Structure 1
Amino acid sequence: MSKHKPNERARPTMADVARELGVAKITVSRALSEQSTVKESTRALIRETAERMGYRLNVSARNLRQQRTRTIAVVIEMAPSHDRLMSEPYPLSLLGGIMQELTAAGQNMVLTTIDLFAAHPPSTDGVILLGQGVHDDAAAMIEATGLPYVVWGAAHGPPERIVVGSDNRDGGRLAADYLLGKQRTKLLFLGETQHGEVDDRLGGFEAALTGTGAAIVDRVACAFTVAAGREAVSKLLERGRGFDGIFAASDAIAMGAIEAVEAQGLSVPGDVSVVGFDDSPGASLFSPRLTSVRQDWATGGALLAQKVLDLVSGKRVESRAMPVELVARES
């Protein structure tokens, strides 16, 4: 009968090493992979601690990952819910561009969520992550796998991370310029700035208002849903807060905001002008038709696929921020 070594079934993990030293798991991963982003003294300490604890890198698993599978995982950071469907408008609008590019390159695509990827990682050559997560947590988790990866989002992480996204700061500026052109001076911002893209949208919006006489009178963090936008604006109006312009971090939030404004007997755009972000398929169908900052989803998807395939091939790759444009409608 074979005998197991003591503690063989409870072999220390990378998370255990991180906990022992009080550092992030991603720092341990980078140190054990000899990445220069971690200074040598820290790498040495982590290596020594890992050895002392009996942690061993799973070399066979890493080698298996390094064999080409001709498969790319597309990982969605968001979780579907009854009020935020996967089909409207993000991230499915990106998938057409990704799929077309991968198919042309003879690559398979595995579509999954961040939770499923963490629990049951597929065998894949690289990863496309759609959405960085709050405080970049999803991107950090993908980075810890050691696989080549690219992210749809904002360049808020380490400089070596490859990010494809829109020029969100310029989108914020365009929204401000539009509302200023409508003579709006008491402005409301709706969106969760713990997401890097939303933080950039607010940053561009604020910068464009400097010295104009207009001001942001309220900032409300809310999820990317119609319900969240409706609830946020309803509460402000019930408390008597006044505003004449709204910049929402997504079209869904903007639509909910409009519903709340009109439920109080006010009109859009008569009393309040509203700008969304995404130019989702529903923006032109909503009543009033929604003014929105347009992102080029199809090109973004193609770029994500091209860049991850270049990384897998060992080529030099750079991040890309794509231009945006404001589509003026009725709101």
Structure 2
Amino acid sequence: MSGAERDDRDARADKRRQRSAGAAETGPTMADLAAIAGVSAITVSRALRDSPLVNPETRARIREIANRHGYAFNISARNLRLRRSMTVAVVVEMTPSPERQMSGAYPLDLLGGITQELTSHGYSVLLTSLQAAATPAVQAADGVILLGQGAHEDAMHEVRSWGRPMVVWGAVSRHESQVVVGSDNRAGGAHVAERFIALGRRHPAFLGDSAHGEFAERHEGFAEALARAGIVSTMATVPAFTVAAGADATRALLHANPGIDAVFAASDLLAIGAVRALVELGRAVPDAVSVAGFDDTLLGATYVPALTSVHQDFVEAGVLLARKVRALIDGDVAQSEMLPTRLVVRAT
């Protein structure tokens, strides 16, 4: 059903509701508001639903007229007619821990963008973790935003089995059939490689886990850019995305490859762990070993020494995730989208 057909249905249903209840009891109808505003009933319906098809000035004017004349838009009745809950479930794939908290830029900034976009269009946001997602409220949501694909995309496959409209935050290039919003991870990795090359580093290493699509893309961009300069990088697989895991992996890396002179970590937490281990081992940062992270978090920016990191725009990504899931809920087409990244050079 098209947007115009839905608007027309809402307007007709409003007229029936008003006739059955009696105009003296319920106040003006959409048709009455339309006559006062000098627009069609469909335009009134769209304005009261905050549809972008009506310009902001007209929406505000119609809402003011509705409020002044005591019109009450029956949201519950509309949702029942549309068979919608007007709720979007946001499922966070990561397992929070004291070292990897939900209060970090990921996922908090993503959630900010998602909530900003969805609530401004009349949706409620239901936040949960993947481990607690099998509840009736989550299953009844109109759509799902999944933050994180999981190792080998396991989380994505699990949520897709629910049969709800779904948009995913993660690696874009691997999933032509799934709507994904992500950052240009390959370009981010290449930016770090170019920085290390400019600094004269010849023995770089990457900390991450290629089972996760985003990390794999970061490593691919990093390794390909280095290879063009005739440099081969070392990869150290890290089992967790924490400061402690980054420190442990860096100690093992330096033990096996004492000549390492640059470390690119797939996240800021891993990078901070790398800096910590390097300092403990007496390897000065950045004089002996350069370090870069990914995410450009506040923690990394305020760490001492301040961390060089790849910036990705989580807030804008959250807005895009919300817009795309709204489009899918409405039966419209949505495409995957990749946001640009840039290297923020600091002290490491």
TM-score category, normalised to shorter length: 0.7 to 0.9
Picking from 56, 64, 72, the partner of 2:88 is 72
Task: Give aligned-pair identity as a percent.
Answer: 46
Picking from 213, 224, 228, the partner of 1:196 is 213
Mapping of residues 65-144 of structure 1, within 5 Å: 67-118=83-134, 122=138, 123-144=140-161
Picking from 253, 257, 260, the partner of 1:243 is 260
SS of the residue corresponding to residue 118 of structure 1 reads coil
Q: How far 1:156 moved relative to its partner? A: 5.2
Counterpart of 2:293 in structure 1: which amino acid? G
For the pair 1:254 / 2:271, whether they are aligned, the reply is yes
Once residues 326 and 100 of structure 2 are traced to their aligned partners in structure 1, the CA distance between those partners, rounded to angstroms, is 30
- Which residue of structure 2 aligns with residue 176 of structure 1? 193
- Which residue of structure 2 aligns with residue 273 of structure 1? 290
Q: Structure 1's 262 and 86: CA in aligned 2 closer, same or farther, altered over 3 A? A: same
Cα pair 2:149 2:170 within 8 Å, conserved: yes
Once residues 256 and 187 of structure 2 are traced to their aligned partners in structure 1, the CA distance between those partners, rounded to angstroms, is 32
Cα pair 1:185 1:213 within 8 Å, conserved: no
Mapping of residues 290-309 of structure 1, within 5 Å: 290-309=307-326
Q: How far 1:120 moved relative to its partner? A: 5.3
Listed as ranges, the gaps of 5+ residues in structure 1 are 1-63
Larger radius of gyration: 2
Which stretch of the first structure deviates more once superposed, 117-126 or 259-268? 117-126
Cα pair 1:136 1:157 within 8 Å, conserved: no
Show CA shifts across 1:108-137 (max 9, x none).
000001111136562200000000001011
Counterpart of 1:97 in structure 2: which amino acid? G
Show CA shifts across 1:212-240 (max 9, x none).
13221343333211110001111233446
SS of the residue corresponding to residue 199 of structure 1 reads helix
Cα pair 1:190 1:222 within 8 Å, conserved: no
TM-score (norm 2): 0.74
Cα pair 2:146 2:156 within 8 Å, conserved: yes
Once residues 184 and 343 of structure 2 are traced to their aligned partners in structure 1, the CA distance between those partners, rounded to angstroms, is 12
SS of the residue corresponding to residue 75 of structure 1 reads strand
Structure number with the higher helix fraction is 2
Once residues 90 and 228 of structure 1 are traced to their aligned partners in structure 2, the CA distance between those partners, rounded to angstroms, is 18
Q: Structure 1's 238 and 280: CA in aligned 2 closer, same or farther, altered over 3 A? A: same
Listed as ranges, the gaps of 5+ residues in structure 2 are 1-79
Mapping of residues 27-42 of structure 1, within 5 Å: none
Counterpart of 1:94 in structure 2: which amino acid? L
Pairwise CA RMSD of aligned residues? 1.6
Counterpart of 1:328 in structure 2: which amino acid? V
SS of the residue corresponding to residue 276 of structure 1 reads strand
Q: How far 1:266 moved relative to its partner? A: 1.3
- Which residue of structure 2 aligns with residue 152 of structure 1? 169
Q: How far 1:67 moved relative to its partner? A: 2.3
Q: Structure 1's 110 and 243: CA in aligned 2 closer, same or farther, altered over 3 A? A: same
Q: How far 1:88 moved relative to its partner? A: 1.8
Once residues 184 and 120 of structure 1 are traced to their aligned partners in structure 2, the CA distance between those partners, rounded to angstroms, is 54
Q: How far 1:163 moved relative to its partner? A: 0.2
Once residues 340 and 279 of structure 2 are traced to their aligned partners in structure 1, the CA distance between those partners, rounded to angstroms, is 33
Picking from 318, 321, 327, the partner of 2:338 is 321
Once residues 120 and 290 of structure 1 are traced to their aligned partners in structure 2, the CA distance between those partners, rounded to angstroms, is 43
For the pair 1:187 / 2:187, whether they are aligned, the reply is no
